[in-house]
Structure 1
Amino acid sequence: MEPVIDQACAAALYSADDAGLDTGASLLAADPSADAAAHRRGEEFVRRAWERGWQPADVVRFVRRELDEGGAALVAALITAETARYDRLPPRWADQIAELPAPAPRNRPDRFGYASALLELYRLLLRLPATEPVGPPPGRASEGPHRPPAHGEPRMLTRIRALLAKAEATGFPQEAEALTTKAQELMARHSIDEALLAARTHGGDGPGARRIGVDAPYESAKAVLLDAVASANRCRAVWDSDLGFSTVVGFEADLEAVELLFTSLLVQGTAAMTTAEAGQRAAGRKRTKTFRQSFLMAYAQRLGARLAADTARVTAAAGAGGDDAPGDLLPVLAARDVAVTDAAERMFPRTTTSRVRGVNDAEGWTHGTAAADRARVGGRSPGIDR
């Protein structure tokens, strides 16, 4: 006779209706001796996700998006149990596991409800598509472009992180602008220093990749903002709208800068949008969705143009005013750009472009553009003409 867990999975996981789910949950709820086997089966599904290129944060984000917070808590418990079996985890996994939601307690609120939620989660995990890996799964050594980062964080990145945290926390726009400007200057200089050091020593690893969540609502505007930040920092971003994340390809120092700056600019932009929206409501406006979409898209487009201009300015200044003549610096940076493009095209040989829709609110666009101007980064050069 088949074990209860096999019967339950056969009934629930390969059918699209609730009847099969109820049958499987009833089988598990009626047999407490099957609990351990049921959770081992879940850990197996999580292990398969690693083999398909997923990482802990990706799985939790996708489960939360497709199910709910309860499903995210269930999968967090499975991830914690599954990853505990490894002596060593891939780079950045420890941070992702530390940020998991609190694991769901077993068999709560009742055995049937818990078993039903568990099987619904397993149904989703079973159907996770394969995705391009951005690092090795647990138990495998790093290879190719996915080598682990150096131990510890460079002091420059620690300073950048502190500056951006202060920019997000301050209530004074001028102070936030000054702090973010200084952070961007340090990012650009750090990237150039890393490139020159690698060229001189003939060392350094090739491009790597990391995933950054692009969460609802207004995912398209957020993806455009991330793409702008990535491009300005010599990286490439590829958005998967179905899975809810972008994969950013670039050199390690640049990847760190992209994630830090994108997160900070999104926080600043959301705060500015909330303030502008409050003013619109005070004036009697009721519709807000189109305002927010247009605001964030304008914010992303405007910052993209500014960041690109600032990167060019900082690069030119570094080549002209430092120990390295432009003739030495520009070929080094060009070679890194080619390496990033080649790596991105190997990882994603079949990308497509799509037209962004729903940007039709003039007030939202105007306020978003103004917010991007206030979040000016990269230097004190004159602003871009409207």
Structure 2
Amino acid sequence: MGINSTYVRGNNANSGGCPTDGDSVLHALTAAYERGWQPADIVHMTRRSLGAAEVRLAVWAIMYEARLSKAVERAPRSWLSHLRAIREQHTDPGHFASTALQRKAVAQLWRELPPLPAEAPPPSKWAEYRADTAADPSPVGPADAKVLGRIRGLLAKAESTDFVEEAEIFTAKAQELMTKYAINAALLDARTNTSTEIVSRRIHVENPYIKQKVQLLNQISDANRVRTVWIEEVGMATAVGAPIDVGQVEMLFTSLLIQATRALRDAGADAADASSARAFRRAFLYGFAVRIGERLRQAGERATAAAAQESSFTVAEVLPVLASRSEAVEAEVTRLFPSTRLVRSRGSFDANGVRAGRAAADRANLRRHDGTDDRRLEAG
């Protein structure tokens, strides 16, 4: 359903929203939707490129368009998840004043957004009513959503506590639940000859130290059979994998970013000048990311052996199952991004920062839920 200019203009005049030339903003928004962009992506790019006033305008336009297109009744559940996240993070501006300059900047930015692989159909492709009327906008199944909810709860507790010991217990338990569930789900698919479902989900990465944060995301993804494709010009990565694996990557990335930021703050970066301090922080985050990746891969090997021991499969039988899933992921990455190329990190880093980052990674979540220190990320 497209935007009817007369309808928008009349509503703007009566509601006290954006002035009549707000039509250009709405047309630019719906055109961006047609090129693969989704609501949260639009907010991210507006915040990355413009200012707070333009972000408020973006939120207004997104919510206004959602009412025009009857998103509540027609949008895919993943689209509703975007709208819900925007409502949680931003106050609906409702009636507000925007300048012609702000509207022009927003419209121009959105018109110039490059095409993205579509993760969900745009409003023009929605049916009159959504066939799936479930209230939960989660893109995963009910069982997965339940497990992911428990994981989120545990990680939220780990991030909110000031006690390291307590945070380690909560995070270790969360990782135990997710690791076991992910491997068991793959084995269940193999037993029932169920084809592997592969999804893609965009992850927004914010400044500062964006390259080091992407390095952390790549390390987490690599350890969990997920491929990430980084689109530098828009500050977004696309994670491709099984739903449960992509969910695990998202949550670990968010949680470990919080832990890395806290560890970096505690480590300090006393230096004679700001440049040296920035070099230390970049190196710290790089060292943290590399060491976390090493630990996650080691944990994955142990978890695979433990899952095989608890099932009727042997390790020799489990590995081809996981390899098959990885092949499906690679095929989907090739379909979505046929011209991608592998880019490896280059350059030198502050040696003290790297050492401090690796040490912080070694301290992250070292204990199992029984309190013993065996430097494991999963409970095998």
- Taking structure 2 as the reference length, what is the TM-score of the superposition? 0.82
State the alpha-carbon separation in 1 of the partners of residues 183 and 195 from structure 2. Answer: 13
**Structure 1 residue 150: Cα displacement:** 2.4
Q: What residue is the counterpart of 2:342 in the other structure?
A: 353
Q: Which of 20, 35, 44 is matched with 1:52 structurally?
A: 35
Secondary structure at the aligned position of 1:206 is classed as coil
**Structure 1 residue 134: Cα displacement:** 2.0
Q: What residue is the counterpart of 1:39 in the other structure?
A: 22
CA contact (8 A) 2:367 2:376 kept: no
Secondary structure at the aligned position of 1:242 is classed as helix
Code of the residue aligned with 1:347 in structure 2: it is L
Q: What residue is the counterpart of 2:277 in the other structure?
A: 288
**Structure 1 residue 54: Cα displacement:** 0.7
Decide which moves more: 212-221 or 314-323: 314-323
State the alpha-carbon separation in 1 of the partners of residues 320 and 328 from structure 2. Answer: 12
State the alpha-carbon separation in 2 of the partners of residues 106 and 34 from structure 1. Answer: 5
State the alpha-carbon separation in 1 of the partners of residues 27 and 93 from structure 2. Answer: 18
**Structure 1 residue 80: Cα displacement:** 0.6
Aligned length: 343
Are 1:116 and 2:101 counterparts? yes
State the alpha-carbon separation in 1 of the partners of residues 101 and 272 from structure 2. Answer: 46
Answer with 1 or 2: which has the greater Rg: 1
CA contact (8 A) 2:144 2:244 kept: no
Q: What residue is the counterpart of 1:97 in the other structure?
A: 83
State the alpha-carbon separation in 2 of the partners of residues 155 and 104 from structure 1. Answer: 33
Decide which moves more: 161-170 or 290-299: 161-170
State the alpha-carbon separation in 2 of the partners of residues 337 and 237 from structure 1. Answer: 13
Decide which moves more: 90-99 or 186-195: 90-99
State the alpha-carbon separation in 2 of the partners of residues 204 and 148 from structure 1. Answer: 17
**Structure 1 residue 81: Cα displacement:** 0.9
Deviations 1:264-306 (A, max 9, x none): 00011101111111xx43x877642111111111111110111
CA contact (8 A) 1:273 1:295 kept: yes
Decide which moves more: 197-206 or 287-296: 197-206
Q: What residue is the counterpart of 2:246 in the other structure?
A: 255
**Structure 1 residue 148: Cα displacement:** 4.6
State the alpha-carbon separation in 1 of the partners of residues 55 and 36 from structure 2. Answer: 19
Are 1:231 and 2:217 counterparts? no
Q: What residue is the counterpart of 2:116 in the other structure?
A: 131
Code of the residue aligned with 1:349 in structure 2: it is P
Are 1:190 and 2:181 counterparts? yes
- For residues 1-386 of structure 1, the aligned pairs below 5 Å read 37-84=20-67, 85-86=69-70, 87-100=73-86, 101-104=90-93, 108=97, 114-138=99-123, 139-140=125-126, 148-151=139-142, 154-203=145-194, 206-277=197-268, 280-281=269-270, 287-356=276-345, 359-376=348-365
Deviations 1:205-257 (A, max 9, x none): 52010001111111111101111111111110111111111000001111111
Code of the residue aligned with 2:289 in structure 1: it is A
State the alpha-carbon separation in 1 of the partners of residues 180 and 344 from structure 2. Answer: 34
- Taking structure 1 as the reference length, what is the TM-score of the superposition? 0.81
**Structure 1 residue 77: Cα displacement:** 0.6
State the alpha-carbon separation in 1 of the partners of residues 19 and 29 from structure 2. Answer: 16
**Structure 1 residue 383: Cα displacement:** 7.6
Deviations 1:332-377 (A, max 9, x none): 2121111011111111122223353565212211211111011146
Decide which moves more: 93-102 or 208-217: 93-102
**Structure 1 residue 381: Cα displacement:** 5.0
Structure 2 unmatched ranges of 5 or more: 6-15, 131-137
CA contact (8 A) 2:159 2:255 kept: yes
Decide which moves more: 34-43 or 229-238: 34-43
**Structure 1 residue 261: Cα displacement:** 0.8
State the alpha-carbon separation in 2 of the partners of residues 150 and 43 from structure 1. Answer: 33
Structure 1 unmatched ranges of 5 or more: 6-32
**Structure 1 residue 158: Cα displacement:** 2.1
RMSD across aligned positions (CA): 2.8
Secondary structure at the aligned position of 2:75 is classed as coil
State the alpha-carbon separation in 1 of the partners of residues 178 and 186 from structure 2. Answer: 12
Identical pairs, percent? 38
State the alpha-carbon separation in 2 of the partners of residues 230 and 307 from structure 1. Answer: 10
Return closer, same or farther for 1:34/1:269 CA change in 2, 3 Å cut-off: closer
State the alpha-carbon separation in 1 of the partners of residues 161 and 96 from structure 2. Answer: 45
CA contact (8 A) 1:294 1:365 kept: yes
**Structure 1 residue 59: Cα displacement:** 0.8
